[in-house]
Amino acid sequence: MSAQGGESTILIIDDNAETIQLLAAMVRDQGKIIFAMDGAAGLEMARRQRPQLILLDVEMHHMDGFEVCRRIAADPDLPHSPVIFVTAHDSTESELAGLAAGAVDFITKPLIAPVVQARVRTHLRLQAALQSLQGQASRDGLTGLYNRRFFDERMAEEFARHQRQRDLMGVALIDVDHFKLYNDHYGHQMGDTCLKAVAEAIGSGTRRPAEIVARYGGEEFVVLLPNSDWAALEHYGAWICGRVAALQLPHAASLTAPHVSISAGLSAILPEPGSSIEMFLGQADRALYLAKQQGRNCYRVAAEGAGSHGP
Ligand code: GH3
Ligand code: MG
C-alpha cells in the first residue's frame, strides 16, 4: 500500500526481459508493476510515475545501476524511492558500492521468490510509514492545510524555479477580519470551527495543481500562485474574498460585515539574483496592511499602478 492508501507502484529497471518477467511474476501481488529496460528510461519513468520502490539491475549497458542510484539521490526532481539492487555478484565490495550509491537493500541471483517477496514487503511498509510521517509533518493539525514549514520549503523551490524560467510568480497573504472579536463573541471552539471552514474555502479553491495553500499562523493563510501576472493576482484577490464572504458565516461582532470576511494582500515578482523571498512576502504583507486599513473585506495588490478594489 502507498501512503495514500492506494496500490504501491514498483518500478523494475533491468536490461534483460527474462529477469523483468521473473521479478514481475514474483511481486505482482504486492503492487502495480512498471518496468524500463535501461537506466535513462528508468529515470524518466521514475520521474513521471513516482514509484514507491525500485528494483534495479546493477549490470546494465550505457548506465549501470550504481549510476542510476546516484542520479536518483542527487536530482531533486526525482522521487527518492528506495532502491533494491538486483545483482549476480554477491561480493562484499559490490554490496558496499551499492549501499554507498544509496541502495537500501540487495537481492542476489538466482532469484528466490519468498526472499524477493519478503524484501519487497519490508521496504514497501517502511516507505508507506515514511510517506505517512512526511505527510503529517507537512500539515497543520487544525485545518489540514500545509503548515508554514512546508510552505517555506516549497516557496524556496518555486522562487528558484521561477528565476530559472524567468517567469512571474504571485503570493497572497490572507487574514480573517476581526477574528479576536469572533472568539470573544462565540468562544474559542466556535472560532476553531470557523477557521476550519475558512481554510476549507481557501484550500478547495486551488485551481492549478502547483498552487500551494498553507496556514501561515493563527488566522492567517498564504497562497503561492505560480506563473501569475498582475492581472491574475487582481482576479484571485477578488475571487478569494468573494468566496469566503459567500460562506455567509455569521459574525455578529464584526465591525466590517454581518458575516465572516477576509482581507488579502497580494504581490508578484520576477525573481532575479538579489531579490529575496522576505522582500516578496514583505510586499504582500504591506498590501494586506493597506487592505485592513482601508476597510477590510477587500484585497490590495502591491504594485505601482496596479488596481485595488473590494470584492
Ligand atoms: P484584524 O481584522 O485586524 O485582523 O483583527 P483580528 O482580531 O482578526 O486580529 P488580531 O491579530 O487582533 O487577533 C487574531 C485572533 O485570532 C487572536 C487569536 O486568539 C485568534 N486565533 C489565532 N489562532 C487561533 C486558533 O487556532 N483558533 C482560534 N479559535 N482563534 C485563534
Ligand atoms: Mg485577523
CATH for 270? 3.30.70.270
Last residue of a domain, one of 74, 102, 137: 137
Which ligand is in closest contact with the Cα of 293? 1
Residues 300 and 156 in one domain: yes
Residue-level pLDDT at 1: 47
Residues 290 and 171 in one domain: yes
Print the domain residue range for 23. 9-137
Residues 160 and 278 in one domain: yes
- Pick the atom of ligand 1 nearest to 218's CA: 23
Last residue of a domain, one of 137, 162, 192: 137
Residues 121 and 34 in one domain: yes
From the CB of 203, is ligand 1 less than 6 Å away?
Answer: no
For ligand 1, atom 15, name the residue with the nearest CA: 180
What is the pTM (predicted TM-score) of this model? 0.76
Residue 142, domain member (yes or no): no
Residue-level pLDDT at 83: 95
Residues 158 and 268 in one domain: yes
Residues 157 and 113 in one domain: no
Candidate from 176, 180, 221 with most ligand 1 atoms within 8 A of CB, to mutate? 180
Residues 113 and 201 in one domain: no
Residue-level pLDDT at 238: 96
Neighbours of ion ligand 2 (CB under 5 A): 175-176, 179, 219
Residue 1, domain member (yes or no): no
Residues 61 and 184 in one domain: no
Q: Which residues are catalytic?
A: 219
Last residue of a domain, one of 137, 167, 182: 137
Task: Find out whether 197 and 211 touch, Cβ atoms under 8 Å.
Answer: no
Residue-level pLDDT at 130: 92
- Pick the atom of ligand 1 nearest to 142's CA: 26
Question: Side-chain half-sphere of 295: how many Cα atoms within 13 Å?
Answer: 10
Residues 90 and 203 in one domain: no
Low-confidence ranges of the chain (pLDDT < 50): 1-4, 304-311
- To the nearest 10 degrees (0 to 180), the angle between helices 17-27 and 113-137 is 70
From the CB of 240, is ligand 1 less than 6 Å away?
Answer: no
From the CB of 296, is ligand 1 less than 6 Å away?
Answer: yes
From the CB of 14, is ligand 1 less than 6 Å away?
Answer: no
In angstroms, rounded to a whole number, what is the distance separating the alpha carbons of residues 224 and 228?
9
CB contact burial 257-279 (16+ within 10 A = b; e otherwise): eebbbbbbbbbbbebeeeeeeee
Q: 87: how many CB neighbours lie within 10 A of its CB? A: 19
From the CB of 184, is ligand 1 less than 6 Å away?
Answer: no
Residue 4, domain member (yes or no): no
Residue-level pLDDT at 303: 67
> Domain count of the chain?
2
Tell me the pLDDT tens digit for each residue of 85-97.
Answer: 998 877 888 888 8
From the CB of 177, is ligand 1 less than 6 Å away?
Answer: yes
Residues 109 and 193 in one domain: no
Candidate from 178, 183, 241, 294 with most ligand 1 atoms within 8 A of CB, to mutate? 183
Residues 116 and 239 in one domain: no
